[in-house]
Amino acid sequence: MEASTHAAHLHDVHEAHHEHELSFWQKYIFSTDHKVIGIQYGITALLFLLFGFSLMMMMRWQLAYPGHAIPVVGGLLQKALGTEMMTDQILENGVKVPGVMTADLYNAFGAMHGTIMVFLAIVPLAFAAFGNLVVPLQIGAVDMAFPRVNMVSYQSYFIGGTIMLASFFIPGGAAKSGWTSYSPLATVADLGHTFNGQTFWIIGMVFLITSSLLGAVNFIATIIQLRAPGMTWMRLPFFVWAQFVTAFLLLLAFPPLEAAAVMQLMDNLAGTSFFLPSGLIVSGAPANISGGGSPLLWQHLFWFLGHPEVYVLILPGMGMVAEIIANNTRKPIWGYKSLVYSVLAIGFLSFIVWAHHMYLTGMGTKISTFFQTTTMIISIPSVIILTCLFISLWGGSIRFNTPMLFSLAFLPMFGIGGLTGLPLGFNFSDLHLHDTYYVIAHFHYVVAPGTIFALFAGIYYWYPKITGRFMSEYWGKVHFWLSLLFMNLVFQPMFAQGMAGLNRRMADGGATYAGSDTVVGIDPSILHTNVHISWAAWLLGISQIPFILNFFISMAKGRKIPSDNPWGATTLEWQTPTPPPHGNFTKPIEVHRGPYEYSVPGHAADFTPQNEPERLKHA
Amino acid sequence: MEIPYTVQPRADTGLFNAKVGIWLFLASEVMLFGALFSSYILLRVGASSWPHGLLNVPIGTFNTAVLITSSITMVLAWANMKMGNPPLSRIFLGITVLCGFAFLGVKTKEYYDKFVHYEVRLVDGTVADGHIKKSPDFSVRGFKPEKGSIVLEPANVLHANPGESMADAMARLPAKERYAHHHGEEMHLEASQIRWISNYTPKHSTYFAIYFTLTGLHALHVFGGMIVLSYLFFQNRAAFARTQTERYTNRLEVGGLFWHFVDLVWIFLFPVLYLL
């Protein structure tokens, strides 16, 4: 019965589709089609990813060569941002060279690098772009449950991103109190300007939070309501499970940050003291405020979002890697149920670990002990997931194509990121490592060679579904090996720097604290590592050129896919035309089996699509 | 293309799409207001004293009654639509929206009262609050008067330690000493006599900060709900509501769920801010 109504709907779809052609604006800009919205999200997020990376490459110049003018772009940047933000370098012969980053600008770039990478690049790419493109197809739905809400979600994201970008060019510059925007610093950092970068940041965040909220509601409703007949919960591809949990994290963790953002906005504009303590001294004078607020409150509210956000960043990546590993080992993923229960456990536990970011705030040892315990517990399901994925490789005849290489690299890279988190999770060792480069190395291993590699894998893997062409394998492998090399050269030395005591967020890369024969300080060799890291970072930037060219050139010139299912995959997104039409499926979809039926004994093909009827099994 | 389960419930979940959507949205709203209520608790626990009696309880009670009434009429609007009586449904929906207007009107009056009400701490330790009748040349920077003078019509006057706030002094003094003499007599105060002055706006104290933030955010939600319900009110007579009655009824149900949630938030806000 259900299947027949489904079929009737699909029939209508086809009829309606031919009746009127959509205008350019309806089709590409104000589209309600989940695939177009997914592509919009994907392109915008990739641009932000590049932009956020560029900010970091300029910061790396400042860290390696403090006080020197940035080559090539320095002069241009000074023209764009003004002399308030960029000063001149005076050479020995008296010549002025424009383009030296001020500490204020370094702080602004640092804060915006974090904000852009987390909220404008990775989350929109991993959750919104891939979620929109793949989830409705994988569950056999015609579209998302609320297509117009979906459109508004993207528009809200776009507006939020525009506000963030605009904040670079306002008087005083962008927000400069870190992506965490700790109060009272965030409130007093730029008192000279009423509508300062921090205000822009907050308003931008409100739009981004709205976007995430609408997206999360939409994804959960879609997965609950629009699964095709026969697509039971335990037949969902793991990627869908990962997105499902991610959506719940976004739905429930973001609102407290929104509340906090509203309160910080009140602090900045209405003169309240939510996060400003009594007796606050600003620039040597008592602040003109009522006081009575709590800086710790901001940190609690921020990290209540901030920690689940970490899993928002990683879970979609894990889901993609699981799909790609199953496909390229040609065997079922090992421990599907363990993966599902682990991802649910992570989702729940991620709400009660947040204060492990706050061991040094003086919130009390009892609270620290509680959060240390929950933090150790949450590492268990993460390790289960990683172990399942590793064991999945066992005995497979692995196809080493580009998506698989990125997925394989994801495993040890995420492993390094995860395991180096343990010393940060124990509060005794965190005392030493807190706020050092060790922390930067740790979370970048999770997000950069971790999540971003998973995202690259996803792009190479699903690209043929959208364009009908493969990306170049050769240049894909060049991109992979160079990225792998330079990622590690960037982040591995930071562990050493951090353990040697080099603090993060220093505009001169720690030069002020350099030790010498007579002064106890940071070892010069540790400081000199900054130069090596910076060169590795710039080379990492250059290594992305093959990817960018490959991405665009393959659209027109790439090898055409031989069939709609070029990877020989089992999941439903490959059982549609390429690219899938409006309404996705040309025939009614009914699901008969689990998501990873590869190399089933007795079958002619080494994969059995989920929608293949049961009787064929014995044919 | 038609998305399934937009009107009819899906068999295994028993829900239509929008109902799943609104419950999820309300879950996130619970987290939003939950975070603010948690902040309220944390700020209050950390405060040296917490003001009492600055809000008008009878007015707050009235507003509570207004909102509860609107919830009842909201249910009646939905029930009448379900039972096939669109005109009566429309009347009840209209009453619901009017209740929203009444609530916001009263709230505006309450806000106004706070904005014109001043707390003044004098150099000699006297603390007073009330309306400013005249203020020739008076100028203030932050909380500090710079020049001029004011004529205050005090509501409360009490003798505290220099620098102490009214809330602190009230919490410390025995009940019978809290409301001291002068009551009703005008006070002529020079800028130099005043140590600290502020009207009851968000900057006054964390109490008013959280009061305005919570009730302001709630008022925005009431306003949002009114827009949705007004839209449905006008849609009631459109052809759409007649031909696709079930779809329209579902909209009424989803809008109603949001409206009930907004009421529920107020049921928590009222005791927390007015009574406790």
Closest C-alpha among A428, A208, A187 to residue A309: A208
A221 and B19 in contact (C-beta within 8 Å)? Answer: no
User: Could you give the number of structural domains in chain A?
Assistant: 1
Residue B22 sits at the vertex; the CA angle it makes with B21 and B23, to the nearest 5 degrees, is 95
The two tokens of residue A244 are 């499902």
The two tokens of residue B34 are 């939950």
A568 and A605 in contact (C-beta within 8 Å)? Answer: yes
CA pair distance B54, B52, nearest whole angstrom: 6
Residues of B in contact with A583 (CB under 8 A): 1
Q: SS3 for B65?
A: helix
Query: Of the candidates B151, B170, B203, which is a domain's last residue?
Result: B203
| Residue among A149, A224, A252 whose CB faces B13 most closely | A224
Please indicate, yes or no, if residue A330 is contained in any of the structural domains: yes
Cβ contact, residue pair A297, B27, below 8 Å: no
Note the pLDDT of residue B183.
58
Query: Of the candidates B203, B220, B245, which is a domain's last residue?
Result: B203
pTM, full prediction: 0.94
| Sequence-ordered list of residues with C-beta below 8 angstroms from that of A162, at least 6 positions apart, any chain | none
Residues of B in contact with A581 (CB under 8 A): none
Distance from CA of A320 to the nearest CA of B (A): 25
Residues B220 and B95 in one domain: yes
Note the pLDDT of residue B165.
87
Residues B86 and B195 in one domain: no
Q: What are phi and psi of A259, to 5 degrees?
A: -60, -45
Mean pLDDT of the A123-142 span: 97
**Beta-carbon pairs below 8 A across chains A and B:** 152
Instruction: Determine the residue of chain B that is closest to A585 in CA distance.
Output: B1
Residues B129 and B248 in one domain: no
CA pair distance A381, A114, nearest whole angstrom: 27
Residues of B in contact with A290 (CB under 8 A): 143, 198, 203-206, 209
Residues of B in contact with A256 (CB under 8 A): 31-32, 34-35
Residue A235 has pLDDT above 60, yes or no: yes
Note the pLDDT of residue B121.
93
The two tokens of residue A262 are 């509203």
Percentage, residues of chain A above pLDDT 90: 86
Please indicate, yes or no, if residue B1 is contained in any of the structural domains: no
Residues B133 and B183 in one domain: yes
For the complex shown, is ipTM > 0.90? yes
Please indicate, yes or no, if residue A7 is contained in any of the structural domains: no
The two tokens of residue B116 are 């014109």
**Tens digits of per-residue pLDDT, A289-307?**
999 999 999 999 999 999 9
CA pair distance A86, B237, nearest whole angstrom: 63
Note the pLDDT of residue A16.
45
CATH number, domain of B261, equals 1.20.120.80
Residue A176 has pLDDT above 90, yes or no: yes
Mean pLDDT of the A206-216 span: 97
CA pair distance A312, B58, nearest whole angstrom: 47
Closest C-alpha among A482, A413, A422, A406 to residue A448: A413
A498 and A441 in contact (C-beta within 8 Å)? Answer: yes
Cβ contact, residue pair B20, A224, below 8 Å: yes
- Residues of A (409-428) whose Cβ lies below 8 Å from B: none
Residues of B in contact with A270 (CB under 8 A): 201-203, 209, 212
Note the pLDDT of residue A542.
97
CA A580 distance to own-chain centroid: 26
A208 and A157 in contact (C-beta within 8 Å)? Answer: yes
**Tens digits of per-residue pLDDT, B132-185?**
998 888 999 889 999 999 999 988 888 888 888 888 888 887 766 665 555 568
* CA distance to A320, A424, A535, B175, per residue, from A499 (Å): 33, 12, 21, 59
Which residues of chain B are modeled with pLDDT < 70? 175-184
Q: SS3 for B55?
A: coil
Domain extent, residue A456, equals 37-64+102-276+292-513+532-557
Choose the mutation target among A272, A276, A303, A591 for the interface with B, i.e. most B CBs under 10 Å.
A272
Task: Round to the nearest angstrom and report the end-to-end CA distance of chain A.
Answer: 26
pLDDT band at A155 (very low <50, low <70, confident <90, very high): very high
Alpha helices (H) along chain B: 17-46, 57-82, 86-115, 166-172, 206-235, 239-243, 245-270
pLDDT band at A10 (very low <50, low <70, confident <90, very high): very low
Please indicate, yes or no, if residue B11 is contained in any of the structural domains: no
Choose the mutation target among A290, A297, A358, A585 for the interface with B, i.e. most B CBs under 10 Å.
A290
Residue A9 has pLDDT above 50, yes or no: no
Residues B180 and B211 in one domain: no
Residues of B in contact with A13 (CB under 8 A): 1-2
Mean pLDDT of the A382-398 span: 96
A75 and A189 in contact (C-beta within 8 Å)? Answer: no
CA pair distance A521, A363, nearest whole angstrom: 29
Please indicate, yes or no, if residue B12 is contained in any of the structural domains: no
Residue A12 has pLDDT above 50, yes or no: no
Note the pLDDT of residue A385.
97
| A249 in contact with B, Cβ within 8 Å | no
Cβ contact, residue pair B141, A253, below 8 Å: no
CA pair distance A590, A228, nearest whole angstrom: 6
Please indicate, yes or no, if residue A197 is contained in any of the structural domains: yes
Sheet with B149-159, side-by-side order of all strands: B187-190, B149-159, B126-134, B117-122, B194-199
Residues B264 and B162 in one domain: no
Please indicate, yes or no, if residue B8 is contained in any of the structural domains: no
Choose the mutation target among B206, B214, B218, B258 for the interface with A, i.e. most A CBs under 10 Å.
B206
pLDDT band at A370 (very low <50, low <70, confident <90, very high): very high
- Supply the mean pLDDT for chain A: 93
Mean pLDDT of the A489-518 span: 93
Cβ contact, residue pair A297, B36, below 8 Å: no
Q: Point out the least confidently predicted range of A42-56, A76-90, A112-126, B155-169.
A: B155-169
Q: Point out the least confidently predicted range of A333-337, A405-409, B183-187.
A: B183-187
Please indicate, yes or no, if residue A493 is contained in any of the structural domains: yes
CATH number, domain of B128, equals 2.30.30
Residues of A in contact with B25 (CB under 8 A): 213, 217
pLDDT band at A14 (very low <50, low <70, confident <90, very high): very low
Q: SS3 for A384?
A: helix
Residues B94 and B210 in one domain: yes
The two tokens of residue A572 are 């439903």
- Residues of A (576-615) whose Cβ lies below 8 Å from B: 582-583
Note the pLDDT of residue B164.
85
Cβ contact, residue pair A5, B4, below 8 Å: yes
Cis peptide before B154 (omega within 30 of 0): no
Please indicate, yes or no, if residue A563 is contained in any of the structural domains: no
Closest C-alpha among B225, B227, B218 to residue B265: B218
Residues B221 and B244 in one domain: yes
Query: Of the candidates B165, B187, B203, which is a domain's last residue?
Result: B203
Residues B25 and B108 in one domain: yes
* CA distance to B67, B68, B70, per residue, from B73 (Å): 10, 9, 5
Cβ contact, residue pair A251, B28, below 8 Å: yes
Residue A7 has pLDDT above 50, yes or no: no
B3 and A147 in contact (C-beta within 8 Å)? Answer: yes
| Residue among B11, B34, B42 whose CB faces A2 most closely | B11
CA pair distance B170, B159, nearest whole angstrom: 10
CATH number, domain of A490, equals 1.20.210.10
User: Could you give the number of structural domains in chain B?
Assistant: 2
Residues B158 and B87 in one domain: no
Please indicate, yes or no, if residue A24 is contained in any of the structural domains: no
Note the pLDDT of residue A22.
78
Residues B28 and B99 in one domain: yes
Cβ contact, residue pair B31, A252, below 8 Å: yes
Domain extent, residue B263, equals 17-49+57-114+206-275
| A293 in contact with B, Cβ within 8 Å | yes
Please indicate, yes or no, if residue B225 is contained in any of the structural domains: yes
Residues of A in contact with B206 (CB under 8 A): 272-274, 290, 292-293
Note the pLDDT of residue B136.
86
**Tens digits of per-residue pLDDT, A411-436?**
999 999 999 999 999 999 999 999 99
> If phi over 0 gives left and psi between -120 and 50 gives alpha, with beta otherwise, what is residue A333?
beta
Residues B192 and B259 in one domain: no
